[in-house]
A and B are shown apart, each in its own frame.
Chain A
Amino acid sequence: MTPAGAPGTGRGEAGRQPPAGFGVEELVVAYHGRTAVAGVTLEVARGGVTGVVGGDGAGKTTVLRALAGAVRPASGRVRRPPARRIGYVSAGPGVYRDLTVDENLAFAGAAYGLRGRALAERAGRLLDRTGLAAARDRLGGQLSGGMRQKLALAMAMLHEPELLVLDEPTTGVDPVSRAELWRLVAHAAAAGAAVVVATTYLDEAERTGWVLVLDQGRPLVAGTPAAIVDGIPGAVLDASARPDRGAAWRRGARWRVWSPDGSATPGASVVAHDLEDAVVVAALAARARAAREKEAAA
């Protein structure tokens, strides 16, 4: 059930007592009887960017689809605006290859009842901000990966949605276009939209205000990027060689070692770790916990 649609917040009101955002609570989604995600709670605040992080098969797309209303959950609660107030960019090419950039925008606009001057005005503004103005007569299929993703994002933002759902918008996109895409995303949030972005990359997650990390359909860890970094059990050590025992992973030519009790070991010293290390530790801790539970059950 969706709540009655709140009217659009409009530009410029962001940050001043925003109305409640959107999200999912205790979400469970199953496909053909197989559980895809379970126990997922996510708050997507208005006027901010929320990240959903995980590898292939972690359940990111399922959570985003449930939030956008594209899949019915087996249980749990979903809070979202009416469909007309949602913008959704699915993973993969979200543009029509045999339509021009202009035609793609007009087609997306028509789906939301935008035409004539209103359409021309908003499309023009987005074309300027995406740098696609010079390519408006090019076919979608002829655009580079970065341009295609910018067009897909522009199409999803055309009707100024309250909730913007973006599934891996930067996959296959180089750093230059990536910076431009993130600028568009931040602009939408600054103008008051609730934005949720799925990514496999933690350097991207660090740009968001709040992150949910998924692992095999379950929440692994959640919080602000800084809180996730600070909240790991124990400490991360730096060493020049793989230690005899304990969990270790490479960082360039050196090793990172997880010390669950936070103590340093011979040849290894505590190092300031980042979000990538913190998520590795969270995954290792979850695996260790699962192994203990399995042992206890046996």
Chain B
Amino acid sequence: MTLVRVTEVTHRFGSLTAVDRVSLAVEAGEVVGLLGANGAGKTTLIRCILGLLRPTSGAVSLFGLAPSRRTRTRLGYVPQGLGLYDDLTVAENLAFSARAFGGAQGGHGGAPAAGPADADLDRDVEAVAGELVGNLPLGLRRRVAFSAALAHRPDLLVLDEPTSGVDPLGRAQLWDTIRAAAEAGAGVLVTTHRMSEAEQCDRLVVLAGGRVAAQGTMAAIMGDASTVRVSTLRWEDAFLALEEAGLPVALVGRSLRVPGADRERVAAALGAGAVEAELDLVPATFEETFVALAAAA
């Protein structure tokens, strides 16, 4: 079932076109990542999907309907600021958000979303029910926000950088919850520009300059893009020589990477700096591919 369908949506603020003829869909049970640099149009697009902004042209449909107060009750949203009240307890926050949704229940087949991960989430949140949210560590605060967003069993979850600031173990627990919601039938739309989050998604939509620059699986988007890897005993000299030549050089450990560059140009720049180095053409990382897509826009 298609939960979100965005068709040729354009949104203009005066003369600025923030979103330019974007189309995308989120199906039940899948986790879709929405990626973009600052100003790429992510926030505007999400506002259109949430029904907070009306597109200048094109159409957004949520569960087959135009976004409205009614579709809002079938949606769970965790903003980056989490949307919790720091001076209320966990239990009070959860009661407050439950009332805001009027006890509405989503409809993913009526089956309760009760995977083992949710049992973990319930237990962890229950254990701190009486604590002020502001006193909890960030990882736990994020889990409380998830719990609030999931309580009415939404059909669609919209998450903004859901694991930002959390350690790897905490991040793994949060993804456990997100995945369990998807397996129970919810669709998930994650906005992020962190690679550790992008690689958890089933499918990615990359926005650049308000347009869809690429979409598909991470592997498909990366394709056969390559990077020149520079191995040398004198990375400092090599770095300064490549930078001097205007190449987009990056330091990784004690070797260097020059994404998107051709080998001859790298060799020439190193030769000009009299630096001895070994060059290999290696597959680009997703981050490198993303930067190239954003730069091309």
Q: Which residues of A contact B (CB under 8 A)?
A: 14-15, 47, 49, 54-58, 144-146, 171, 174-177, 179, 182-183, 185-187, 189-192, 200-203, 206-209, 215, 224-226, 242, 249-253, 276, 279-280, 283-284
Q: CB distance A175 to B37 under 8 Å? A: yes
With A202-B168, A284-B169 in contact, do A176 and B179 touch (Cβ < 8 Å)? Answer: no
With A250-B176, A250-B179, A252-B202 in contact, do A56 and B165 touch (Cβ < 8 Å)? Answer: yes
B172 within 8 A of A: yes
Q: CB distance B176 to A249 under 8 Å? A: yes
Q: CB distance A183 to B202 under 8 Å? A: no
How many residue pairs link A and B with beta carbons under 8 A? The number is 134
The residue on A at minimum CB distance from B195 is: A203
Q: CB distance B167 to A54 under 8 Å? A: yes
Q: CB distance B250 to A15 under 8 Å? A: no
Whole-angstrom CA separation of A79 from B109 in the bound complex: 62
Which stretch in B70-78, B95-103, B251-259, B262-270 binds the other chain?
B251-259
Q: CB distance B196 to A207 under 8 Å? A: no
Which B residues from 282 to 297 make CB contacts under 8 A with A?
Answer: 287, 290-291, 294-295
B58 within 8 A of A: no
- Please name all residues of chain B whose beta carbon is closer than 8 Å to the beta carbon of A276 when the two chains form the complex: 168, 196
With A15-B234, A252-B200 in contact, do A175 and B250 touch (Cβ < 8 Å)? Answer: no
- Please name all residues of chain A whose beta carbon is closer than 8 Å to the beta carbon of B199 when the two chains form the complex: 251-252
Q: Which residues of B contact A (CB under 8 A)?
A: 36-39, 116, 137-139, 164-170, 172-173, 175-176, 179, 193-196, 199-202, 234-237, 239-240, 243, 248-254, 287, 290-291, 294-295
Whole-angstrom CA separation of A182 from B236 in the bound complex: 14
- Please name all residues of chain B whose beta carbon is closer than 8 Å to the beta carbon of A202 when the two chains form the complex: 168, 196
In the assembled complex, the CB of B145 is this many whole angstroms from the nearest CB of chain A, namely: 14
With A174-B37, A249-B176 in contact, do A226 and B253 touch (Cβ < 8 Å)? Answer: yes
6 A–B contacts from the bound complex (CB under 8 Å):
A174-B37, A175-B287, A179-B291, A182-B251, A183-B249, A252-B201
In the assembled complex, the CB of A185 is this many whole angstroms from the nearest CB of chain B, namely: 8
- Please name all residues of chain B whose beta carbon is closer than 8 Å to the beta carbon of A200 when the two chains form the complex: 164-167
In the assembled complex, the CB of B173 is this many whole angstroms from the nearest CB of chain A, namely: 8
The 4 A-B residue pairs with the shortest CB-CB distance in the complex, in nearest-first order: A55-B167, A56-B138, A249-B172, A186-B251
Whole-angstrom CA separation of A208 from B34 in the bound complex: 28
- Please name all residues of chain B whose beta carbon is closer than 8 Å to the beta carbon of A209 when the two chains form the complex: 253-254
Whole-angstrom CA separation of A176 from B39 in the bound complex: 11
Q: CB distance B236 to A183 under 8 Å? A: no
Whole-angstrom CA separation of A189 from B239 in the bound complex: 10
Q: CB distance B167 to A283 under 8 Å? A: yes
Whole-angstrom CA separation of A191 from B240 in the bound complex: 8
In the assembled complex, the CB of B168 is this many whole angstroms from the nearest CB of chain A, namely: 5
Give the contacting residue for B137; candidates A57, A250, A253; CB below 8 A.
A57
- Please name all residues of chain A whose beta carbon is closer than 8 Å to the beta carbon of B164 when the two chains form the complex: 171, 200
With A145-B38, A201-B194, A253-B179 in contact, do A176 and B253 touch (Cβ < 8 Å)? Answer: no
Beyond A15-B237, A56-B137, A56-B139, 11 extra complex contacts between A and B, CB < 8 Å: A47-B236, A57-B137, A176-B291, A183-B243, A190-B239, A203-B194, A207-B252, A249-B169, A249-B172, A251-B199, A279-B167
Give the contacting residue for B175; candidates A179, A201, A208, A249; CB below 8 A.
A249
Q: CB distance A174 to B38 under 8 Å? A: yes
Whole-angstrom CA separation of A245 from B202 in the bound complex: 26
Whole-angstrom CA separation of A209 from B167 in the bound complex: 20
In the assembled complex, the CB of B209 is this many whole angstroms from the nearest CB of chain A, namely: 12
- Please name all residues of chain A whose beta carbon is closer than 8 Å to the beta carbon of B249 when the two chains form the complex: 183, 186
